[in-house]
């Protein structure tokens, strides 16, 4: 990656809009380029300053009043329906459009409502995103960015790449050896992924700050994979594997029992 490419990717990197491969390539270039480091630091400081609350200006009350007065009035629902389905005669009485047009409009509204209600919930979308990401990591041989069985090697690798320090547990003696870690993007934010194995079955453990899950893990199945979700010590955890639910449950028990580095 040259300077011109790095400068083009810099705004997207600051806003966390790059793909995983682009972010890694940018970070590799940034590590060895002082000019790009200076440009990155300058833009980072500008972004931080623009987010400060003291730069906001409250509009004067008189200005707010004038703007609201200039806005067109909002018509009632029945007035809008009247304009849509009928037309007024000169005397003011209303002639309704053909019944067929009304039926078609009702059908269209019902269909739109059905589409809205069929949109998957946030948990459903996140679960599917986890499964898709797990499959991609297997298909493209991208289980690990850092390959090591030593938690004291894996954990420092995340320094500077995340805004939190992920806990890393060594479970080799319990039959779940740590084989590496990687940086990934999930639910719109960068997350840490610790990769373990049970025999020939990889286990992806996703970790990021938050406490929107229950403290007790819940194991369920989707597309042939077993998943579990829980929170502890201010962190969200998601684990996914093609091993059985008993194996995943034992992994979680050992993980929650042993201290992290």
Rounded Cα distance between 13 and 35, Å, is: 16
- 234: phi then psi, degrees, rounded to nearest 5: 75, 15
35 CB-near residues (< 8 Å, 6+ apart): 3
Rounded Cα distance between 113 and 119, Å, is: 10
108 CB-near residues (< 8 Å, 6+ apart): none
Range with the largest mean pLDDT of 3-7, 88-92, 103-107, 241-245: 241-245
Q: What integer pLDDT is reported at residue 46 of this predicted model? A: 76
Q: Are 174 and 123 in contact (CB under 8 A)?
A: no
> What is the length of the chain?
261
Looking up tokens 């998957």, which residue turns up? 120
Q: pLDDT per residue over 36-91, tens digit each?
A: 888 888 887 777 766 665 556 677 788 778 888 777 766 666 666 666 555 554 44
Q: What integer pLDDT is reported at residue 120 of this predicted model? A: 43
Rounded Cα distance between 154 and 196, Å, is: 12
Q: What integer pLDDT is reported at residue 41 of this predicted model? A: 82
Q: Are 129 and 187 in contact (CB under 8 A)?
A: yes
Q: pLDDT per residue over 180-203, tens digit each?
A: 998 888 877 889 999 999 998 999
Q: Which two tokens stand for residue 222?
A: 């989707």
Q: Are 198 and 213 in contact (CB under 8 A)?
A: no
Q: Are 193 and 130 in contact (CB under 8 A)?
A: no
Q: Are 225 and 133 in contact (CB under 8 A)?
A: no
- What are the beta bridge partners of residue 186? 189
Closest listed residue to residue 126, CA positions, set 238, 16, 234: 238
Q: Which domains does the chain have, with CATH numbers?
A: 3-51 (no CATH), 122-257 (3.30.200.100)
């Amino acid at each position: 990656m040259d300077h011109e490419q790095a400068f083009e990717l810099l705004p997207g990197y600051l806003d966390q809009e790059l793909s995983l491969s682009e972010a890694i390539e940018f970070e590799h270039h940034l590590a060895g380029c002082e000019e790009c480091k200076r440009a990155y630091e300058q833009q980072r400081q500008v972004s931080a300053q623009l987010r400060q609350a003291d730069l906001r200006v409250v509009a004067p009350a008189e200005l707010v009043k004038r703007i609201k007065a200039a806005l067109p009035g909002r018509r009632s629902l029945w007035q809008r329906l009247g304009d849509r389905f009928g037309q007024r005669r000169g005397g003011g009485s209303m002639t309704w459009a053909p019944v067929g047009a009304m039926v078609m409009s009702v059908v269209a509204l019902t269909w739109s409502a059905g589409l809205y209600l069929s949109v998957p919930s946030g948990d459903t979308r996140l679960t599917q995103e986890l499964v898709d990401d797990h499959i991609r990591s297997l298909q493209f041989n991208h289980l690990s960015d850092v390959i090591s069985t030593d938690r004291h090697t894996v954990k420092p690798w995340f320094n500077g790449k995340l805004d939190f320090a992920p806990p890393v547990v060594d479970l080799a003696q319990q039959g779940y050896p740590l084989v590496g870690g990687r940086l990934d993007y999930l639910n719109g934010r960068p997350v840490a992924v610790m990769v373990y194995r049970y025999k020939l079955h990889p286990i992806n453990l996703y970790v990021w700050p938050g406490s929107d899950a229950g403290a007790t893990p819940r194991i369920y199945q989707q597309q042939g994979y077993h998943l579990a979700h829980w929170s502890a010590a201010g962190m969200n955890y998601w684990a996914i594997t093609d091993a059985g639910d008993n194996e995943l449950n034992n992994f979680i028990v050992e993980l929650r029992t042993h201290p992290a580095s």
